Amino acid sequence: MKLRHLILKEVWQRPTPMLTSLIAVTLGVMALVAIQNITIYSEDRINSDMESLGANVLVMPPEVTLQDYYAADLHGRTMPEEYVTRLALAQLPGVQNLAPKLCVETTVNSREVTLTGILPKNEFQKKSAWQGLGMLTNAVGSDRGCCATPATLDADNSPESLAHTRTIQELGERELILGSDVAAQLNAKVGKKLTLFDEKFNVIAVLPATGTIDDSRMFAHLHSVQDLSGAGPVVNVIEIMACCDDAAGDLISDLSAELPETRVITIAQVVETQVAVNGLMSRLSWVFFAILLLVAAASIASVMYANVTERRKEIGTLMALGATRGFVTSLFLGKALLLGIMGGIGGFIAGTILAIVLGPSLLGIQVSPIPQLFLIGILSATAVALAASYLPARRAAGLDPCLVFNDA
């Protein structure tokens, strides 16, 4: 038998008083771990989004607020498709490509899916009025829509290019492109027929996984989606690929002037808002953490004081049998240490699970455990538990051993 056994045995035999303190510590660590975890991954995703974005300017109905670039067309608000024509005809300098989108919910094989209508580039070419527009012959869909690194035109001709360039050359009226997740769910391959809105569609491509919300979508011709869903000639968003320099300069005011009834947002703005939200979350998580740890500290201190009072006679006996003040102090600080470690581990596990569960549903991001948070959680929980138990432990060590005789 050692000090360690004494501590474990006491906690094991009388766990209830420690439970509230343990829960408080666990909650504090859990809040921190969950929020930090989500924030860190969300930041990671913004960074990778920045790299993979095909469009860098969005034109949306005015009442829409935008948090997530990939959900830019999921707000349900619409504006006339005619805006696309207006933008195309305006021939604004710096505009490389226009990609209008309309999203509707539908079911395939009794599964809910998001069907996104897109306009292939040959539609623009059909309209003679648009012939000769720079955007149709220029390189489009380069990495960030920046003119400095134009992509080759060949890449645009396969349906799979949609995944990277967000545009496509041709798309028939009853043709369908599937995101990787939805393809897997429906067990659909190229050449398979799927029934949407009572019409048979032919799957012409399955996109490679991108790690974005696009993976769970289906893409069809904009006009088919408009007709079949009964939405009429409207779109949710117009994605514009513009030269970075232009997007940063006059283009936004030019676009706003051209389409005063819309909201024009640059990706930079979207990213900024999201980064700001993340920063706020991150700071808030520390506030939560601090508050919960304070609550935990108060709870631990009061439970420890009660524990010392309750165990007066036991402590006196130990002292009579030769326990030093150091031993008695360790007895209580050891218990605090146990509490901190258990709270830290429990909080990390609970927080990580929470983040893994909430990450995808709240923010659409995949989250995995972050070891550094484990370290932070366990260290701070232990420090708080020890600090809160310091005075009770000292009181225990300062007890008069003579009380063993009197406290009959």
Please give the residue ranges that form the binding site for another protein (CB under 8 A). 1-3, 6, 9-10, 13-14, 313-314, 316-327, 400-402, 404-406, 408
Taking the least distance from each CB to another protein, the nearer of 137 and 324 is 324
DSSP track, 104-173: EEEEETTEEEEEEEE--HHHHHHSGGGTT-HHHHS----TTS-TTSPPPSGGGGSGGGHHHHS--S---T
CB 339 within 8 A of CB 385: yes
Q: Shortest distance, CB of residue 401 to another protein, whole angstroms?
A: 4
Q: Shortest distance, CB of residue 334 to another protein, whole angstroms?
A: 14
Q: Alpha-carbon distance 223 to 100, whole Å?
A: 11
Q: Shortest distance, CB of residue 33 to another protein, whole angstroms?
A: 33
Q: Alpha-carbon distance 390 to 30, whole Å?
A: 24
Taking the least distance from each CB to another protein, the nearer of 221 and 311 is 311
Q: Shortest distance, CB of residue 329 to another protein, whole angstroms?
A: 12
Taking the least distance from each CB to another protein, the nearer of 191 and 322 is 322
- Can you say how many angstroms the Cα of residue 223 is from the centroid of all Cα atoms in its chain? 32
Q: Shortest distance, CB of residue 303 to another protein, whole angstroms?
A: 17
Taking the least distance from each CB to another protein, the nearer of 364 and 401 is 401
- What is the torsional sign of CA 103, 62, 233, 142? negative
Which residues are CB-contacts of 255 (< 8 A; sequence separation ≥ 6)? 57, 59, 87, 92, 240, 264
Q: Alpha-carbon distance 335 to 349, whole Å?
A: 21
Taking the least distance from each CB to another protein, the nearer of 77 and 325 is 325
Burial of 105 (0-12, 13-18, 19+ CB in 10 A): exposed
Taking the least distance from each CB to another protein, the nearer of 33 and 399 is 399
Q: Which two tokens stand for residue 86?
A: 């207006």
Q: Shortest distance, CB of residue 17 to another protein, whole angstroms?
A: 13
Which residues are CB-contacts of 137 (< 8 A; sequence separation ≥ 6)? none
Q: Shortest distance, CB of residue 50 to another protein, whole angstroms?
A: 59
Taking the least distance from each CB to another protein, the nearer of 218 and 338 is 338
Residue type, 210: T
Q: Shortest distance, CB of residue 317 to another protein, whole angstroms?
A: 4
Q: Which two tokens stand for residue 390?
A: 């310091």
Taking the least distance from each CB to another protein, the nearer of 242 and 315 is 315
Helices (H), 311-407: 312-320, 325-358, 371-397, 403-406
The CA-atom distances, in angstroms, between 165 and each of 156, 171, 236, 390 are 7, 15, 19, 61
